[in-house]
C-alpha cells in the first residue's frame, strides 16, 4: 500500500500539472498514462505479485542465509581439522626431535664405548708385546748364559786336559766316586 501511495504522488507531481487544458480528461495523454499505470499497479496488487516477489526474496534470503550458515560450519570444521593437523604435526615434530636426540645420545655412548674398547685393546696388545719382549729377552739371556757356560766348560776341559796328567785324572775320578758314595749312604 505504501508503494501505491508513493507512485501516485510521483505521477501526480511533475509534468502532468504543467500541461495545458483540463487534466482529468481522456484526451489528455498524461492522464490516460497515469490511469493505465494505476490500473496496472492495482492489477499487480490484485494478483499478489508484490507478496510473491517478497516471498521469493525471502526464500532467496533464507537460501543465502542457509548457504552462509553451511559455509560458516564448513569453515569451523576446516579450522578444527587444521588445528588437529597442526597438533599432529607438532607431535610428530616432537617425536622426531626425541628420536634424533636419542640417536645422538646413543651415537655418543657408542663412540665412548668404542674409545674405551680401543684403549683396552691397545693396552692388551702393548702388554702382550711387552710379555713377548720380556720372554724373548729372558730366552736370549738364558741362551747366552748356556752358550757361555758351554764355552767355559769346553775351555776348562781343554785347559784341564792340557794341564792334568793321567794319574791326577784317576785320582779326581776316585775322589768323585767316594764323594757320591758318601752322599748316597
Domain extent listing, the chain: 1-14+26-47
pLDDT tens figures, 26-49:
788 888 999 999 999 999 899 989
Nearest-5° angle of CA 162, CA 164, CA 167? 140
| Contact of 51 with 25, CB cutoff 8 Å | no
pLDDT of residue 24 exceeding 80, the answer is no
**Residue 25 pLDDT:** 78
Count of C-beta atoms within a 10 Å radius of residue 117: 10
Quick: pLDDT tens for 45-71: 999 898 899 999 999 999 999 999 999
Place of cell 757361555: 148
53-62, 64-73, 81-90, 158-167, range with the lowest pLDDT: 158-167
Look at residue 4 in the predicted model and tell me its pLDDT: 56
| Cα-based angle 132, 138, 143 (whole degrees, multiple of 5) | 125
Q: How high is the pLDDT of residue 61? A: 95
pTM for this structure? 0.39
Higher pLDDT, 16 or 118: 118
pLDDT at 149: 81
Q: What is residue 5's predicted lDDT score, i.e. its pLDDT?
A: 60
The band of 19, judged by pLDDT with boundaries at 50, 70 and 90, is low
Q: Where are the beta strands (DSSP E) in the chain?
A: none
pLDDT, the chain, mean: 85
pLDDT value at residue 70? 96
Would you state the pLDDT for residue 11? 55
Amino acid at each position: 500500500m505504501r508503494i501505491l501511495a508513493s507512485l501516485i504522488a510521483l505521477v501526480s507531481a511533475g509534468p502532468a500539472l504543467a500541461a495545458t487544458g483540463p487534466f482529468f480528461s481522456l484526451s489528455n495523454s498524461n492522464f490516460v498514462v497515469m490511469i493505465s499505470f494505476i490500473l496496472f499497479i492495482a492489477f499487480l496488487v490484485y494478483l499478489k505479485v508484490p507478496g510473491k516477489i517478497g516471498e521469493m526474496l525471502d526464500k532467496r534470503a533464507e537460501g543465502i542465509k542457509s548457504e552462509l550458515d553451511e559455509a560458516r560450519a564448513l569453515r569451523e570444521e576446516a579450522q578444527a581439522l587444521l588445528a588437529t593437523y597442526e597438533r599432529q604435526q607438532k607431535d610428530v615434530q616432537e617425536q622426531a626431535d626425541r628420536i634424533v636426540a636419542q640417536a645422538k645420545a646413543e651415537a655418543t655412548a657408542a663412540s665412548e664405548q668404542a674409545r674405551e674398547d680401543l684403549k683396552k685393546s691397545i693396552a692388551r696388545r702393548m702388554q702382550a708385546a711387552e710379555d713377548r719382549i720380556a720372554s724373548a729377552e729372558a730366552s736370549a739371556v738364558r741362551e747366552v748364559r748356556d752358550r757361555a757356560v758351554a764355552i767355559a766348560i769346553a775351555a776348562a776341559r781343554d785347559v784341564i786336559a792340557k794341564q792334568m796328567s793321567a794319574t791326577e785324572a784317576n785320582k779326581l775320578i776316585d775322589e768323585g766316586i767316594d764323594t757320591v758314595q758318601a752322599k748316597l749312604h
